[in-house]
Amino acid sequence: MAVSWKDYDPNDFFDELIARKGRPRPYARMLTKYLAKHSDEELETRKALSDLSIKEMGITFTVYTEEEGSIDRAWPFDILPRMIPKSEWDVIERGLKQRVQALNLFIHDLYHGQKIIKDGVFPAELLKGSANYRKECEGVSPPLNIWAHICGSDLVRDASGTVYVLEDNLRVPSGVSYMLENRSVMKRVFPELFDEYSILPVDDYCSQLFDTLTAISPRKAESPEIVVLTPGIYNSAYFEHAYLAQQMGCELVEGRDLIVEKDDCVYMRTVEGMQRVDVIYRRIDDLFLDPEAFNSDSMLGVPGLLR
């Protein structure tokens, strides 16, 4: 049965621009006045401009279907910006930082003393039945005890506007490149808004990511060798892998480009010979990382990587 928006009660949703009485929220008044000055035709023109920009920039994502296989599609983009006042974002930011710290402590405990289970906080049955628990990691202590250096938390609002975490993507979170490109497209479509509002920047993400990866290098080199490990061009997030590698000035590699030598160090095959790798930003799932440790049939990972 087809479902339309008429079947929903508007009170079940939170509109970030318009309050229930039909008036703009205080932080959105300037935006709504600005949009009201544009006719439908003008907004359609701006939308066409955004679609053209996305096409020119090559922003795509891959969709897999049983009938047609993999299809590259242009990234969908809504030209109406989603606004979050800084006072609210500051609270969200503090909560997310606290959450990432708690998640890392949680993971570390599960692979060590499992105090959270002994204290009755976390059910042992959930861990026993988890397909994502890796016995191979028991007793392993990564540098600084950080298991998840990058976390993608999906945020949602309830009808009252309260923000909740829907889920945390800790293993291979993807999507940040689209957020960065969204901002670039928005600057092309509505450049005036960036003069009227004090909008927090996002274009320093790649430099912050690079600094994070540099900080965990086992060698204290001035310029450690960092690579982005991708499953290849057929992965749905390949655009992002290539984008982040290019923005950070790192090599984009596949498993076949890397080798673990007798000194237990990872090296990258280059036209100039083997070059030692200090940090791998992996964008492949756990089970494909090392065929010696996990999936023996994997052709994506690097044998001996987890020795």
Please state the pTM of the whole predicted model: 0.84
In which band, very low, low, confident or very high, does the pLDDT at 3 lie, cut at 50, 70 and 90? very low
| Residue 95 sits in the same domain as residue 160 | yes
Q: What is the DSSP string of 97-142?
A: HHHHHHHHHHHHHHTTT-HHHHTTSS-HHHHHT-TT--GGGTT---
The answer to whether residue 71 sits within a structural domain is no
Total domains in the chain come to 3
Q: Kindly give, in sequence order, each residue whose CB lies less than 8 Å from that of residue 298, ignoring residues fewer than 6 positions away.
A: 255, 287, 288, 289, 290, 291
pLDDT at 5 over 90: no
- Kindly report the number of other CB atoms within 10 A of residue 25's CB atom: 16
- What angle is formed at CA 168 by the lines to CA 166 and CA 170, rounded to 5 degrees? 165
CATH number at residue 248: 3.40.50.11290
| Residue 209 sits in the same domain as residue 305 | yes
The answer to whether residue 183 sits within a structural domain is no
| Residue 213 sits in the same domain as residue 297 | yes
The answer to whether residue 208 sits within a structural domain is yes
Lowest mean pLDDT among 131-140, 254-263, 297-306: 297-306
Domain housing 235: 204-307
| Residue 163 sits in the same domain as residue 208 | no
The answer to whether residue 58 sits within a structural domain is no
The answer to whether residue 67 sits within a structural domain is no
The answer to whether residue 43 sits within a structural domain is no
pLDDT at 32 over 70: yes
In which band, very low, low, confident or very high, does the pLDDT at 69 lie, cut at 50, 70 and 90? low
Decide: 72 and 60 in contact? Cβ < 8 Å. Answer: yes
pLDDT at residue 300, as a whole number: 87
Residue 152, strand partner residues? 169
| Residue 220 sits in the same domain as residue 304 | yes
| Residue 213 sits in the same domain as residue 304 | yes
